[in-house]
């Protein structure tokens, strides 16, 4: 029975090793997918240990397709409509025109460096043209920072929706090469409309059918995720058979299902998150196993040159051209350009020429593999310093509430919410508590009490209560949540009210602005110059910088004042007046 036990032992050992290695990658800010790829390289035939022989391009391609389909579905499932309302147009422009521009800008370099045909150069550039969002947000989260909502939404939507475009371009150029075409055909444009149109319609149909079935049938809660995954994979296959983009269909279906009410939603989300991690581990390890390290030296130099051009030239130019019509600052564009990490889709598409038996297929695969490794290594290591340099970060603040959906009849929209109280908790200091917001259980010093037997709440108590909606949880956050301590580096040295007149800043800090503006308030200036205001937005005012500290809905509640802003901090929109920076001793308080 060694033919059963040995493979099982090896597979489980690889999974355990991959997961435990994430502890090291977290501390070192190394992208996890880079770790998974390297593990595959290490244990494969061409990597040194030679523990696993994996030479089937078709099998690797099959594994990658199924895994990527589920990853894209999960990406859509966890994208809110709010993100789309915020940055839909620029993000989708990056995901389509941006991918095409990246291809067109990188292809000439591939043509001259590798001495291949123009169609082959376009194929190679198309394969590497899409980005990977999972690595970006993993690295930012592990680094203790998060980016502003506008940037996060842009990156999420772009990287979640640009794979279908890269896949379309790749297969289009393969078709032209196989047909020995001399140039482009208008048939490509009609194919694009056909694939994306069928894919979009299929996505909506999948979402509708899945929602109807899941909400109609009464099953054990544990069966809902399995039913959903089975229907999603079936929808993916049917869409591809009909000539549409199955990946686009699953991404769209994920968006609509993730923003809908489904039976067993909480269970579905937990299983899906676990499954997505498993898909990433298996996909990247299988791709690493297939690669042959001994073939890398022959293409190392051209791979590094093309990788550098992609990071420094092609991606930034594509981003700046696509975002030119929109209100993104220079530094925001720089950051979005830099975080175009390459990942799963690029290596998976690099298998396509191998499966199709095209010339240069092995060379293309090795070049793409090295370019992905280069992107993950360089952009992965420096993403957090670049984010801070570009002033697009906010400190990650732990949410005051720990919540769990109640999956019981009649309480499907309710939450069980828990708070750990602190010295800054308003409820501890006697703030009135409505009857509906009274705790059910209070845990104090490890002992649980009926809340009605507790006369007053104390710091370090943990309270449990029910909430019937997200809006009520926001109120509970203000009642039971602790105060937020802000870092002056991120939110300024002092706090100002938004109705503070600018002339007071002139008197107190000696700044120089136009006299006609001095009667205006800080809030007036922000509303006049910003289309949408977010926490963390920066606004340069002569030698100081105003920073939005706190919002209540669409209204600004607190402004931070940074007396010594970074010279590289340009804010989000305008600098009112450029003057030489005075020494701190000249500022009047």
> Which tokens go with 81?
């409509």
* Count: domains in the chain: 3
Q: Residues 364, 459: one domain?
A: no
Per residue in 173-219, pLDDT (tens digit) is: 998 888 876 666 677 788 889 999 999 999 999 999 999 999 999 88
CATH, residue 358: 1.20.1530.20
Q: State the pLDDT confidence band at 586, using cuts at 50, 70 and 90.
A: very low
CA nearest neighbour of 116 among 330, 359, 335, 327: 359
In this prediction, residue 537 carries a pLDDT of 73
| Residue 510 φ then ψ, to 5° | 70, 20
Q: Residues 78, 188: one domain?
A: yes
In this prediction, residue 201 carries a pLDDT of 95
Whether 323 is in a domain gets the answer yes
CATH, residue 578: 3.30.465.10
Evaluated on CA atoms 266, 271, 277, 283, the torsion sign reads negative
Q: State the pLDDT confidence band at 371, using cuts at 50, 70 and 90.
A: very high
Whether 63 is in a domain gets the answer yes
Beta-ladder partners of 547: 538, 560
Q: Is the pLDDT of residue 540 over 60?
A: yes
Residue 97 burial (CB count, 10 A): 14
In angstroms, the CA 70 to CA 241 distance is 18
Per residue in 284-321, pLDDT (tens digit) is: 888 888 888 888 999 999 999 999 999 999 999 999 99
In this prediction, residue 292 carries a pLDDT of 85
3-state secondary structure of 242: coil
Average confidence score pLDDT of the chain: 80
Q: Residues 406, 457: one domain?
A: yes
Question: Cα angle at 129 between 126 and 131, to 5 degrees?
Answer: 150
Q: Residues 449, 335: one domain?
A: no
Contact, 95 vs 165, CB < 8 A?
yes
Q: Can you give the residue range of the structural domain that contains 525?
A: 488-586
In angstroms, the CA 336 to CA 318 distance is 11
Q: Residues 177, 295: one domain?
A: yes
Q: Residues 551, 406: one domain?
A: no
Whether 321 is in a domain gets the answer yes
Q: Residues 294, 420: one domain?
A: no
Whether 20 is in a domain gets the answer no
Per residue in 153-166, pLDDT (tens digit) is: 888 888 878 888 99
Whether 108 is in a domain gets the answer yes
> How much is the average pLDDT of 478-488?
58
> Which tokens go with 371?
């370019």
Q: Residues 209, 344: one domain?
A: yes
Residue 249 burial (CB count, 10 A): 33
> Which tokens go with 476?
């509970």
Q: State the pLDDT confidence band at 579, using cuts at 50, 70 and 90.
A: very low
Per residue in 81-102, pLDDT (tens digit) is: 777 777 888 999 999 999 999 9
Evaluated on CA atoms 123, 128, 131, 134, the torsion sign reads positive
CATH, residue 471: 3.30.70.1450
> Which tokens go with 405?
């959906």
In Å, how far are 343, 416, 428 from 462, measured between CA atoms? 42, 13, 12
Which of 480, 505, 529 is where one domain is finished?
A: 480
Q: Residues 249, 204: one domain?
A: yes
> Which tokens go with 538?
């920066």
Which of 424, 453, 480 is where one domain is finished?
A: 480
Which of 428, 445, 480 is where one domain is finished?
A: 480
Q: Residues 225, 328: one domain?
A: yes
In this prediction, residue 578 carries a pLDDT of 32
Per residue in 381-437, pLDDT (tens digit) is: 888 888 888 878 765 555 556 666 666 666 656 778 888 888 878 788 777 777 777
CA nearest neighbour of 344 among 121, 171, 166: 166
Looking at the chain, the whole-number percentage of residues with pLDDT higher than 90 is 25
Per residue in 235-260, pLDDT (tens digit) is: 999 999 999 999 999 999 999 998 88
Q: Residues 105, 177: one domain?
A: yes
Whether 17 is in a domain gets the answer no
Q: State the pLDDT confidence band at 48, using cuts at 50, 70 and 90.
A: low
By mean pLDDT, which of 210-219, 453-462, 551-560 is the weakest? 551-560
| Residue 581 φ then ψ, to 5° | -75, 125
Whether 5 is in a domain gets the answer no
Q: Is the pLDDT of residue 57 over 70?
A: yes
Q: Residues 270, 378: one domain?
A: yes
In this prediction, residue 210 carries a pLDDT of 94
In angstroms, the CA 202 to CA 256 distance is 12
Whether 503 is in a domain gets the answer yes
Q: Is the pLDDT of residue 1 over 70?
A: no
Tell me which range, 87-96, 135-144, 279-288, is most confidently predicted by mean pLDDT.
Answer: 87-96
């Amino acid at each position: 029975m060694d033919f059963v036990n040995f493979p099982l032992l090896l597979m489980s050992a690889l999974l355990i090793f991959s997961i435990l290695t994430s502890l090291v990658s977290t501390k070192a800010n190394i992208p996890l997918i880079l770790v998974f790829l390297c593990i595959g390289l290490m244990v494969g035939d061409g990597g040194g240990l030679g523990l696993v022989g994996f030479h089937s391009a078709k099998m690797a391609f099959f594994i990658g397709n199924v895994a990527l389909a589920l990853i894209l579905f999960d990406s859509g499932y966890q994208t809110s409509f709010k993100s789309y309302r915020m940055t839909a147009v620029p993000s989708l422009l990056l995901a389509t025109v941006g991918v095409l521009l990246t291809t067109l800008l990188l292809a000439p370099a591939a043509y001259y460096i590798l001495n291949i045909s123009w169609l082959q150069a376009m194929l190679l550039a198309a394969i590497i043209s899409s980005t990977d969002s999972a690595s970006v947000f993993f690295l930012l989260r592990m680094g203790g920072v998060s980016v502003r909502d506008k940037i996060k939404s842009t990156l999420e939507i772009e990287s979640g929706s640009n794979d279908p475009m890269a896949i379309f371009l790749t297969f289009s150029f393969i078709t032209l090469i196989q047909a020995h075409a001399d140039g482009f055909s208008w048939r490509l444009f009609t194919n694009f409309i056909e694939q994306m149109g069928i894919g979009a319609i299929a996505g909506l149909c999948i979402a509708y059918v899945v929602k109807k079935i899941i909400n109609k049938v009464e099953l054990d809660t544990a069966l809902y995720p399995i039913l959903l995954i089975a229907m999603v994979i079936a929808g993916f296959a049917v869409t591809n058979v009909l000539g549409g983009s199955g990946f686009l269909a699953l991404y769209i279906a994920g968006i609509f299902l993730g923003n809908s009410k489904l039976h067993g939603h909480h269970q579905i989300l937990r299983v899906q998150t676990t499954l997505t991690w498993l898909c990433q581990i298996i996909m990247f390890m299988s791709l690493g196993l297939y690669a042959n390290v001994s073939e890398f030296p022959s293409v190392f130099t051209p791979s590094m040159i093309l990788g550098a051009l992609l990071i420094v030239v092609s991606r930034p130019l594509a981003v700046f051209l696509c975002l030119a019509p929109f209100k993104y600052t220079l530094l925001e564009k720089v950051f979005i350009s830099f975080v175009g990490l390459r990942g799963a889709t690029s290596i998976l598409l690099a298998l396509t020429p191998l499966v199709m038996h095209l010339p240069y297929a092995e060379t293309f695969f090795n070049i793409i593999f090295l370019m992905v490794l280069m992107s993950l290594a360089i952009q992965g290591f420096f993403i957090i310093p670049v984010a801070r340099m570009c002033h697009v970060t906010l400190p990650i603040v732990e949410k005051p509430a720990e919540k769990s959906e109640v999956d019981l009849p009649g309480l499907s929209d309710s939450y069980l919410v828990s708070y750990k109280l602190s010295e800054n908790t308003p409820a501890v200091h006697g703030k009135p508590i409505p009857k509906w917001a009274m705790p059910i259980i209070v845990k104090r010093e490890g002992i649980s009490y009926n809340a009605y037997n507790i006369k007053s709440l104390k710091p370090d108590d943990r309270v449990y209560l029910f909430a019937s909606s997200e809006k009520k949880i926001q109120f509970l956050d203000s009642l039971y949540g602790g105060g937020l301590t802000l870092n002056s580096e991120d939110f300024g040295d002092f706090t100002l009210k938004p109705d503070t007149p600018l002339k007071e800043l002139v008197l107190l800090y000696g700044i120089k602005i136009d006299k006609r503006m001095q009667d205006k308030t800080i809030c007036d200036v922000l509303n006049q110059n910003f289309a949408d205001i977010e926490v963390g937005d920066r606004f340069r005012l002569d030698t100081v910088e105003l920073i939005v500290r706190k919002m209540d809905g669409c209204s600004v509640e607190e402004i931070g004042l940074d007396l010594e802003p970074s010279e590289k901090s340009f804010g989000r929109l305008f600098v009112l007046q450029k003057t030489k920076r005075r020494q701190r001793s000249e500022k009047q308080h």
